[in-house]
Structure 1
Amino acid sequence: MAMTKGYASRYSFEDVWSISQIMEETKELAARVAKSTSTVLIHGESGTGKELFAHAIHRLSIRRDQPFVSVNCAAIPEDLFESEFFGYEPGAFSGANAKGKPGKFELANGGTLLLDEISELPYPMQGKLLRVLQEREIERIGGTILNQVDVRIIAASNRPLKPLVQEKKFRADLYYRLRVFPLYIPPLRERKEDILFLAHRFLEHYCKAYGKTTIRLEPEVQQWMESYPWYGNVRELKNFVEAAVLLVDDTDGRLTMEHVKVLMDDEGADVIYPTWKKGETMKETYRFPLSLKQELENLERQLILKALSESKGDRMRAAELLNIHYASLYRKLNKYQLEEG
């Protein structure tokens, strides 16, 4: 079976950088299950590298030469679910492609299908997905033929699914169908020994990419980096280092706390973070003249990070704490580059 053009895994376990024991053990578990055909359920906060692990699992599997297809369940409107997952025949509905279109299951046939953000799949759609996982067959919209599919499933979620099952927001039968081999990716704050290791790897990468001289981290910056909780995890750290490389002057080559304050807009430049405690008001760090729009955005970002911390990464709960719709929080996570994978 030929690989579907454009669908191949991009990462291996060598791309999962770490020196912490907990991450090395996690990679060992992932490598062990990779050689099987079992369904894997990856759980971890946004930015921990769930998609990276999914790619690496596929690349180490016996399906490595077959397609690796990824689909973000949170990004597919409910009315397009069936056409995206199962495909459609020519003329199946108004506006349909004249040649028809294969769905994700067909594209991944023989290989691996990553169901990212599986916790955000609408409840009515969960039953339809379950049926395909059980029967291993699909029928295109407008079609009459059942097509057999041979697909390995890897599901990923930044929210624990068990509480959603108890709240009747996620089907128990689908949960147990997906949870054959659970794999937990720990957040960066639970493996602090990886922080400076990753920072130096990213520094080396971006200095080379942007033609910059070697940049040194001042001791105070290293201390701050190890104390900052990195709620956006590896992605946030990577973005921070990239920005730092662009900011630091080549003639100096040192990343100082002054640079940190510029990059973090003062919101995370304190060694202890977050700075708010119950009953306290926000510290007065404002200096005029200032940009009201920028300050409001900084405050909004702080509040989102605080809500995510309080909810332990549960975005639905964070939206409730902020008294906003989940879709609004999802957009803001993208806006402030706090979103995952």
Structure 2
Amino acid sequence: MNLKQLQHFVTLAESGNVHRGSARLNISQPALSKSIRALEDDLGVELFERLSRGVRLTPAGHWLMSRSFSLLSDFQQLRTEIDLIKRQANGSVRIAAGTVLCSSLIPLSLARLHEVASNIQVVVESGYWDDHKRMLLNGEIDFFVADSRELEDIVEFDIAHLPAEPICVYVRAGHPLAKKRRLTLADLQQGAFMGLTRLPKELERILKMHPELPPSRMADSAVASNDFSLLRTSAALTDVLFYSPPSAVQEQVARRELVRLKVSLPAQLQTHFAIVWRKGRKLPASAELMKRTIIECAAQQFRPLA
């Protein structure tokens, strides 16, 4: 099966007979019939019932039709993006992202985008999801990337979920807890901790179910900030516990500035990051290219713990 055969299949299904389908494709009727037969032979199923005045999709044909639109749309978008890269066309993208992502995934994605389309200008606003929601609804940004737990039910939005990551506990190298062989949640209660000033309500609910975890007492944290980079740097310089997804601290871990404590946390403690844009709105090619770059980088960066 190739894309040309898929295009022929969709056109014939929409046209209802070979005469109209071949006219739309600007090819001969025998050429269209030959293409469809080759596709059916390749797949090993009949896609059309041949009727006296046309054709009708079989159940297998209906299934292929339901998948074909997204495949052809993705292919067309890919052609558009490649054309944009090839022309090195000027373009601009305005996005917003959560403070954790602005310290990890977004810089990686910007670097990847710059490799293939250096003329695209990207403006990134950092902050919390409710501000980004307002900006998107007001048309100030093309899309945003943030925790999606409070956005799932908003009918104006389309959402592309990114892979989930566990949330782990990190401390500076040399921290007393890093030397203990067997850690329990009770050990964590003995130390001060730091965290973001705001959390999604769903995450707060999960934390309240586990009062043994320090983050459930966020108001009592030793350090609270809306700047994730500040928290991450402070964690490497103090004895404060730091909760983070692995991808956001991988450089600090590689340099041995931070180490992960091997303690079991509830499985529900994980990220729910997603890309969010206006429903029914076709993103400009440059914004779509940025979106797909973020998805690609997230797939490589967000991985389960070994």
TM-score (ref. length: structure 2): 0.28
Q: In terms of Rg, which structure is larger?
A: 2
Is the strand fraction higher in 1 or 2?
2
Higher relative contact order (CA 8 A, sep 6+): 2
